[in-house]
Amino acid sequence: MIKSIGIALAGFGTVGAGVFDYLQHQSDLLAERSGFRFDVRSIVVRDLKKNRDVAPPSSLFTTSWRDLLKDPEIKIIVELLGGTTDAFDLIKAAIESGRMVVTGNKALLAEHGQEIFALAKKHDVPIFYEAAVAGGIPIIQSLRDAFVGNRIESIHGILNGTSNYILSRMQEAGLDYKAALAEAAELGYAEADPTFDVNGGDAAHKAIILAALAYGFWVKLEAIRVDGIEAVTAADIFFARNLGYNIKLLATIRSAADDSIEVTVAPTLISKNSVLASVNGVFNAIAVKGDLVGDALFYGRGAGRKPTASSVIGDLVEAAFALKSEKIHGNGRDKGKINFSFHSLYGTSRAAADICSCYYLRLTVEDQPGVLGKIATLLGDAEIGIASAIQPESLEGSEASLVFMTHQASYGMISLALEKIQKLSCVKSKPVVFNVEAV
């Protein structure tokens, strides 16, 4: 028998419209595969008069999320409002009312995940959030279920399609940052305000969720280093290429020897021979290394109506099976379906200043004798080893670029050294520092 389940959509933007459209036009396929039909009983929108390319009956619309809780036939609430205020209040109220929640809200989970999942555990209510990270790539389910027997050694991810498109165009077409950003906006890959994409904030939220799944606790956003791609120039792309690297906005998550967890989001030089270096355009990719599975790579579209709606639909079906299990086995739900498990196998997150990496440094300096020696001395005083240095020829008396590749050093050490270097009269602009990762 095909079971009908009442659901509500809180939010009807790109993803919400995609979910509704699929449920309308592919309901037979979904019913045949899963045994469920999903009856959309209410949709929360901010503007009732807005023109939409997907047009549900107007009777479904409401402007208040509280209306969703008045309908006892709504068993699953899909939260796609965005933001961390109304969405937070809605999810808390839904959990307290015993309804299951599907969400794609990475900012909310990154900032309030600990509280939300503690509340879910208290009320024994499942939460499903595959759409919160990497669009249609099933990374949440894989970390939670398929890799449950693994100690995760590291996760490296290209998690923001807008930034990746910009860097790809700078690499492929020789565009500067502003031109590549303008092209991304024209094609609809960048928002009207792209700040959160290009400054690393979006990728950082996703990295926090992945770190929580892999290591059992929630890392605070303010405790991690988050750098965006705004400082990447065509010169950096050129130097990186000549050194055998591509530049990507990379989320790096890994366990250290003392069981502390390192989380960093920053522009990173990756060897051209790495699979991640060849991930271009708006695509995302996540490389996971487990002690049993070894290396695993996930690749696909990380955003957009259809890929993200695909993840939401998958979560709806999983939530429906949880509902079915509850009815068969009584009121007690399977606590494993809460979909996040706190555990104490790992310590705390390592401070950003203590995380070690190799670095790419680019300085704009006066083209005068002795400049290279002064800077090398300050790096040496900070116990930062120089792997290589590049000083291209320039017109006599003009400014020149000076590029260093360093050995391993903590971010705190490199930051202190750069503070001193920037004070040199021969240094004419703020130093640029990117990570270098072997992935």
Q: Which residues are catalytic?
A: 206
**Closest of 221, 218, 269 to residue 243, by C-alpha:** 269
CA–CA gap between residue 200 and residue 196 (Å, rounded): 6
CA–CA gap between residue 326 and residue 335 (Å, rounded): 11
Residue 268: partners with Cβ closer than 8 Å, 6 or more residues away: 247, 248, 249, 250, 252, 434, 435, 436, 437
- Largest Cα span, the chain: 83
SS (H, E, C) 50-94: CCCCCCCCHHHEECCHHHHHHCCCEEEEEECCCCCCHHHHHHHHH
CA–CA gap between residue 266 and residue 345 (Å, rounded): 27
Angle among Cα 331, 332, 334 to the nearest 5 degrees reads 135
Amino acid (1-letter code) at residue 30 = L
Q: Which CA distances in Å does 89 have to 50, 97, 100, 108?
A: 24, 12, 14, 11
